[in-house]
Chains A and B, each alone.
Chain A
Amino acid sequence: ILNVEQSPQSLHVQEGDSTNFTCSFPSSNFYALHWYRWETAKSPEALFVMTLNGDEKKKGRISATLNTKEGYSYLYIKGSQPEDSATYLCAPGNYGQNFVFGPGTRLSVLP
């Protein structure tokens, strides 16, 4: 089973701040990495699916980059809003293995 780490564990920012967090994973046999946004009492929702080294994906104020050689992905949120408060989960998958979710980064955006 993949060892997936996310940092920081939790984060508090002020409305309007930009922020970023990290997902680290073993780089060998990498296949794809997913980012999900999870609000408590709801189900995780997909943000990005990334496959290629150097990939950069963007959705509104949220973007993500991928480095498969060194085994990390960054998620960036520009100009954080209170509605961005959620737990952000990454889930890498290797050949022959399934999605393994990291523990998540819990983001709180204070108005």
Chain B
Amino acid sequence: QVQLVESGGGLVKPGGSLRLSCAASGLTVSDYYMNWIRQAPGKGLEWVSHISSSSSDTKYADSVKGRFTISRDNAKNSLYLQMNSLRAEDTAVYFCARDGGSGWSLDYWGQGTLVTVSS
């Protein structure tokens, strides 16, 4: 049974940093493109970043480029998102999701972790 469990969210002041984790079971994160997607309160979905199966390819949305870094620990079968220079507009639920290889669609999602950026 595939499970993705995010953690690390919380309340942080503007300009602060936070590191999100996504622990996977039932799948091997190094075999797939893995993604972070966020959803601001009451809003739609916004793709944030992905990392390729080889870790050689990482991409970011323009809104987070230069501030966020995606990474993976194969030994821990986990995905991470290091978030620096946080802004109020980064407030959202952050989901990790697997791209299962079927037409760049996201077939498994975690339940999300809430990040609130506020003074």
B is a partner of A: no
Binding site for B on A (CB under 8 A): none
Binding site for A on B (CB under 8 A): none
